[in-house]
Amino acid sequence: MRAVAVAEFGAVPEVMDLPAPVPGPGEFLVHLRAAGVNPFDWKVAEGLLRGAVPHAFPLILGSDGAGTVHSVGPGVTAFRPGERVYGQFLRLPRGLGSYAEYALATEEDAVARMPEQMLFTRAAAVPTATMTAYGLVEAAGVDTGQKVLVVGGTGGVGQSVVQFARDRGATVLATAAGDRSREWMRHLGASEVLDPGPLAERLLELCPDGVHTVIDLVHGAEGVAELLPAVHRPGGTVASTLGALDPEELRGRGITGINYSNRGSARLLAVLADLIGAGRLQVHIDHEAPLEEAPSALARLREGGARGKTVLRI
């Protein structure tokens, strides 16, 4: 099968011809038609999880995908061949991922049926980023009447954070560069859009008591520290997807710090499918390319400037 993989940590991703996996007991094989691209994919290829999880090489990149169940192994009862499914397919110890024609999953994985009308490319754009956005807003306790800042609102995760926070009745402030991105953020529900860069002073002009919640998808520890004077205290919350916080230190300053780590599930994918189906959540695709162009699509994402998701057609 065609796949995009790395031969070792840090290697340049390449198009390879690799054997299709065979589903064992409890596993099912999915014929993927699209894969979603996340920053996590290149970070894994560079060794993010080295030492924490076994990796097999060549390592097929990618977690997110959408396709049709091809065959099921013994004991699989939840899925049947021909069903359209989407979710997360990364199996590092087997060297299997979603940038490939076929991927494996089990019933315990974050894989669910696709909504009837949804295109494979659109479904593949959802899993990691949108589940993360949903979990972040929930973990941060975003609620009616709060002021919520989303740093990195224009990316794969950020676009959904803005919408979920708005749906919970919060006043959303988001960062975005450029007129079109600013307009897009407003369309998704942001009341204020701020240029990237030092934010604390501008935030305090807009919200003299500080914002209740910051959801930061961009900064390391130093960047987050710059924002803290604009966080309401006591009782404010800061959540980071980059592990940028020291929750103990923040507690001493009257702020709850959350280093958020995504925990995907089939149940949550089903919730998201319903929201998208009902028109309550938009997942915008920024860049679409054929599987063979995965190496350049990854390089493009790494350069920054994402305005939604990157998706590969398989």
Ligand X SMILES: NC(=O)c1ccc[n+]([C@@H]2O[C@H](COP(=O)([O-])OP(=O)(O)OC[C@H]3O[C@@H](n4cnc5c(N)ncnc54)[C@H](OP(=O)(O)O)[C@@H]3O)[C@@H](O)[C@H]2O)c1
The nearest distance, CB 46 to ligand X, in angstroms, is: 12
| Region 133-152 residues binding ligand X, contact defined as CB under 6 A | 151-152
Structure tokens belonging to residue 201:
């002073």
CA distance 239 to 89: 26
| Region 199-258 residues binding ligand X, contact defined as CB under 6 A | 217-218, 241-242
The nearest distance, CB 241 to ligand X, in angstroms, is: 3
The yes or no reply on residue 49 touching ligand X (CB under 6 A) is no
| Region 267-296 residues binding ligand X, contact defined as CB under 6 A | none
Is residue 56 within 8 A of residue 49, CB to CB? The reply is: no
The yes or no reply on residue 38 touching ligand X (CB under 6 A) is yes
List of residues 6+ apart from 237 with CB closer than 8 A:
140, 141, 212, 213, 214, 231, 255, 256, 257, 258
Q: Which of 88, 121, 130, 175 binds ligand X (CB under 6 A)?
A: 175
The yes or no reply on residue 305 touching ligand X (CB under 6 A) is yes
The values of phi and psi at residue 178, to 5°, are 95, 150
Of all residues in the shown chain, the one whose CB is closest to ligand X is: 155
Q: Return the H-helix or E-strand segment holding 293.
A: none
| Region 77-96 residues binding ligand X, contact defined as CB under 6 A | none
Between 128 and 171, CB nearer to ligand X: 128
The nearest distance, CB 25 to ligand X, in angstroms, is: 30
- Residue 192: closest CA among 224, 221, 166: 166
Is residue 155 within 8 A of residue 217, CB to CB? The reply is: yes
Q: Which of 25, 74, 82, 304 binds ligand X (CB under 6 A)?
A: 304
CA distance 212 to 232: 5
The yes or no reply on residue 301 touching ligand X (CB under 6 A) is yes
Determine the size of the site formed for ligand X (CB under 6 A): 27
Encode 232-256: b = buried (16+ Cβ within 10 Å), e = exposed: beeebbbbbbbebbeeeebeeeebb
Burial class (CB in 10 A: 0-12, 13-18, 19+), 12: exposed
The yes or no reply on residue 154 touching ligand X (CB under 6 A) is yes
The yes or no reply on residue 261 touching ligand X (CB under 6 A) is yes
How many other CB atoms sit within 10 Å of the CB of residue 19?
8
Q: Which of 63, 88, 130, 132 binds ligand X (CB under 6 A)?
A: 132
The yes or no reply on residue 158 touching ligand X (CB under 6 A) is yes
Between 39 and 210, CB nearer to ligand X: 39
Between 169 and 261, CB nearer to ligand X: 261
CA distance 74 to 237: 46
Is residue 130 within 8 A of residue 66, CB to CB? The reply is: no
Q: Return the H-helix or E-strand segment holding 15.
A: strand 14-17
List of residues 6+ apart from 75 with CB closer than 8 A:
25, 26
Between 59 and 297, CB nearer to ligand X: 297
The yes or no reply on residue 155 touching ligand X (CB under 6 A) is yes
Q: Which of 128, 163, 171, 237 binds ligand X (CB under 6 A)?
A: 128
Between 224 and 314, CB nearer to ligand X: 224
The nearest distance, CB 218 to ligand X, in angstroms, is: 4
Between 44 and 112, CB nearer to ligand X: 44
List of residues contacting ligand X (CB under 6 A): 38-40, 128-129, 132, 151-152, 154-158, 175, 177, 196, 217-218, 241-242, 260-262, 301, 304-306
